[in-house]
Every structure is written in structure tokens, then in C-alpha cells.
Structure 1
Amino acid sequence: MKKELNCFTIAMMVLALNWTLPSSSLAQTEPLGRLMSVTEFTIKPGHEMQFREGVKAWKACYLENKGEWTWRLWQRQQGEGSVFVLASDMANWAEMDKTDEPGNKCQIHAMNLINPHIEKATSHVTRFQPGISKASQLTEDVIRVSFYDLSPTHGYKMMEVVKEVEKIRKAAGMETPGYWYQWQTSGPESPSFHHVMPYKDYAAMDIVQEAVWETVEKSAGKAKKDELQAAFRSSLQNTWSYVYKLDKDLSRPSK
């Protein structure tokens, strides 16, 4: 339990840095993209209000001490329990060697007002993939996140297909709609990649857009679509998705 209660302190204080949005690439010859630290908090039943008030107190203390770190705190809208996800970016691994004095000054708030309301915390690091992602910065308040667990035998096909599909879509004048991330650390139940699809609000999710495979078939023919679709499906062991809403009161997307 002590380890779990310290996760928020580690995520929000020890790693409290001025992290910005990533830019990266899948190819080794291209620059590596920025990293994203992701911590998922499962809140104890009936403790969501106390958790929120604790984060607000920590945030007020951090801003009062002129902290530079930026972060987003998303609340998962479906699934079991009350779950929040803390997402923050850094340019490279070396930034984890730095300390953050304003965060240290506010550590008592995390220990007394936040940690007691956390049932479980899981942290990982992912890397942004810009060659197949939307170029502009994420500003939307609602996101659909799709997770992909790759097949041990055919998992290598996934990114090959994604890159080819995006090439076809760009040739057809279609903009890349979302953001791809590759997981750099993971547990037995973690995915290998996840994709973030942004929406201005929930109403935007009702807008019907041309499906990816529909564009591929129109542009490259049914045979090519069937080939790529079969390869993509064979690359997956499991896939799942959730919708998250940005909690603006608990976030600091920019200074």
C-alpha cells in the first residue's frame, strides 16, 4: 500500500517538470519523439470528491510556488470504478534526473490529501509517433483512446500497415485524425501501442466521417484494402478502447 500511495507523489512531484507535446518518428534515421509519462489512478469507492479536492489543493500550492510543470488529468468515462489518467510529456529520459523544488514544497498535500483516496496507481512511459500522427497540438477536451496488444508472431505487421494506410489516406487528401503512441514500459496486461482520437465535445462524436478502410478501398482498390485489413487484424492479440474527458480544474495543459 505504501508503494501505491507514493505513486502520486512520484508522478506529480519527483517528475514535476515543464514537459511539452511530443514529436517523434518510427524510423531509426529520424529524430526520436518526445516521451509521455502516463499514470492511471483507480480511486477508492466513494472517495472521488476527496481526491479531486486534494488535487486542487496540490495544484494551488504548486502554482503559488511558481512551478513550471504542465500536465493533463483525464477522467475515464466508461469501465469499472472511478479512474483518472495523469499525462505529462518530456523531451527525453534525462529529464527524469531533474528535481522540482515547487513540487517538493507541496509534497505534503499529496501525502495527506491525495494518496489516502487512491486504491491503485499504475505508471508507464510512452513515445509519440509523429510520422503517422496529427501534426497539430492536442487541444480538445474529449478523446477516444484505442489500445492495441500485439500478437507475438505477427505483431510486427501492425505499424507497417498503419504507415501504408496513412500514406494512402494522405495521397487521397485526407488529414491524419489522431495521435499514435508506442509504449516504452509495460506490464503483463499493457498494450504495445495506443491511438488517441480527439473531439471538441461529445456532440462531435456524432459526426459521421469516412471510415479508414473505406478510404483505402476507394483509393487503392478492394484487393489492397483486403490485404492490409487482414494483415492488421493478424497483428493483434487484443484491442480495447475508452473515452476520456479532460478535467480542466485538475489540469494545467500550458503555463
Structure 2
Amino acid sequence: MNYFIIMSLGIVLNGTVLSNSFAQTEPLGPLMSVTEFTIKPGHEMQFREGIKAWKACYLENNGDWTWRMWRRQQGEGSVFVLASDMANWAEMDKTDESGKKCQDLATSLINPHVEKATSHVTRFQLGISKGNPLTEEIIRVTFYDLDPINGHRMMEVVKEVVEIRKNANMSNLGYWYQWLTGDPESPSFHLVMPYKDYAAMDIIQEGVWQTVEKNAGKAKRDELQTAFRSSIQNTWNYIYTLDKDISNPTK
């Protein structure tokens, strides 16, 4: 991601790298840098205008960094999430000359309107995720904080459920990410479910456990469901909408 704008906003990546306790059977997926901005009360319009000004400057200087800015629809306060893909860790060594030319705009027009910001790095999970790129503008994100003792079971269950769905000619439901950095309140994984619009959320679809029971039997459903629930310490979710005016999702 463009660390120049993040650092000019005074944000420091200060997470603890989590040990990967899950067997790696798939090639490593790309990384995603995620920065959550909590905006000062009453400053949302100024924050957005500051991002617009920075974006215009960046594009005028032929910047090629891409990002999505999502606005959280529920929860306390005004929260935006900046998400940017990275092929690997080496991208963090790069400098962005186009971003340097717009530093003053970030400092003067964006930073004053941010109450706090936290940054983390996640990794896309191949094999268990949808294969096509995310193009929808509404997402529901579910976060999973793993149980200290049984947490290792979660991905085992997810992979088994994915295999059952695959054998039933059903596609993967969403996009899984593992958190590689985190603070004490960070999740271990999150799942992104895309929707073309809010009306799509009204469509009742067959539940995951219904699919498992239909294709693998009730005993297998009970076994996997019990293991999954015991692997999770806490879970929560929010809906986010893409703010296109302050995003730059394609080159």
C-alpha cells in the first residue's frame, strides 16, 4: 500500500505478528493492508474533502497506487476503512514519489479530522475463498476471534465445509482473510460477503449447515458445527459500503 499517505497521517503499524498455526496446503495469497479511521464527530465531510483533494493531486502526479475506502454503516461513531492489496511484504520497501508530492495535503486537510487510526496487515486465503475479484460495492464483514485452546479447529472445519460444498458443485461464499498483525482486540480471521445492493440481502439462501446436512448427513453437520463453535471466542460483523469518490480501485 502507499505507506507515505499512512505515515503522513501519523499512523504507525504497531501490531504483533501472529504465528501461523495452520498447515499451509495452498500457495500463499496476496496481502492486504487495512487501516481503520475513526473520524472526529462532525468532521466527516471535511475528512472526505481532504481525501478527494489528496486523490486528485496523486492522480495528477501519475500515481499508480490503488485502494478502496469503505464506510462502516453500523456501530459507534463515523468509521472509514482503507483497504489496499500488496503482492508481498517487499512492497513495504518501496517509496511513492507521486505520494511525496501530495504530502502537505494529507497533513493539512486529512490529519486534523481523524480521531484515531489503526493499521494491520491481513493475508487472502486461497482455496476457501471466491476466485473472482471483488467488484460489489456493499459487503458484510464477519470477524472471528479464536478460542485460545480450540482455535486451531476453525480453519479445519472451514476447509472441510468448502470441500463438501465443492463436491455438491457449489461455489465458495466469500473472501477469507487471516490477520498477520494484531492488537489484543483484533480478530484472527474475517470473512467478506459481497452484495450487489441491499435488496440482495433480503434473498434467503440455503444456510451453510443445511448444505452440510443435505450432502454429508446430520451426524457430520453436528460434528462440524460443534467444532466450529468451540473454536471461536467471539464474533461480530458490520456492513460497509464503498465510497467511490475517495477510492481508486483500478489502475
- Deviations for 1:128-166, whole angstroms, at most 9, x for unmatched residues? 001100000000000000000000000000000000000
1:140-151 to 2 correspondences below 5 Å: 140-151=136-147
Q: 1:139 aligns with which of 135, 145, 157?
A: 135
Q: CA deviation at 1:245?
A: 0.1
Matches within 5 A, 1:42-121: 42-121=38-117
SS at match of 1:130: coil
1:31 deviates by 2.2
Which residue matches 1:193?
189
| Separation (CA, whole Å) in 1 of partners of 2:43 and 2:157 | 43
1:249 match:
245
In 2, the alpha carbon distance for the partners of 1:56 and 1:93 equals 28
**Among 170, 173, 198, which residue is 1:202 paired with?**
198
Separation (CA, whole Å) in 2 of partners of 1:236 and 1:177: 20
> Matched residues in 2 for 1:8 and 1:204: separation?
37
Q: Deviation at 1:9?
A: 2.9
Match of 1:163 in 2: 159
**8 Å Cα contact 2:9-2:107 kept in structure 1:** no
3-state SS of paired residue (1:132): coil
Point out where structure 2 has 5 or more consecutive residues left out of the alignment.
Answer: 12-21
> Which SS does the other structure have where 1:131 is aligned?
coil
- How many angstroms apart in 2 are the aligned matches of 1:54 and 1:136? 32
Q: Distance in 2 between matches of 1:209 and 1:239?
A: 21
Supply the distance in 1 between the matched residues of 2:25 and 2:147 (Cα, whole angstroms).
26
Matched-pair contact (CA < 8 Å) for 1:14–1:103? no
The alignment's C-alpha RMSD in Å is 1.7
The equivalences for 1:26-41 within 5 A come to: 27-41=23-37
Distance across 2 between alignment mates of 1:179 and 1:251 = 20
Residue 224 (1) aligns with residue 220 (2)? yes
CA distance in 1, matches of 2:204, 2:45: 36
Q: Under a length normalisation based on structure 2, what TM-score does the superposition of the two structures give?
A: 0.92
Assess if the C-alpha contact under 8 Å between 1:168 and 1:219 holds in 2: yes
| 3-state secondary structure, aligned to 2:47 | helix
The amino acid that maps onto 2:132 is: S
Query: 1:176 and 1:143 mapped to 2: Cα distance?
Result: 15
Deviation at 1:28, TM superposition (A): 3.0
For 1:176 and 1:31, the matched residues in 2 are separated by: 17
Query: 1:32 deviation in Å?
Result: 1.2
Runs of 4+ in structure 1 deviating by more than 2 angstroms, as ranges, are: 7-15, 26-31
Partner in structure 2 of residue 22 of structure 1:
none
Alignment-derived partner of residue 238 in structure 1: 234
- Do the aligned partners of 1:14 and 1:99 also contact (CA within 8 Å) in 2? no
Structure 1 portions without partners, runs of 5+: 1-6, 16-25
Note closer, same or farther for the CA distance 1:35–1:237 as it changes in structure 2 (3 Å cut). Answer: same
Aligned to 1:3: none
Displacement after TM superposition at 1:29 (Å): 4.9
Q: How many residues get paired?
A: 239
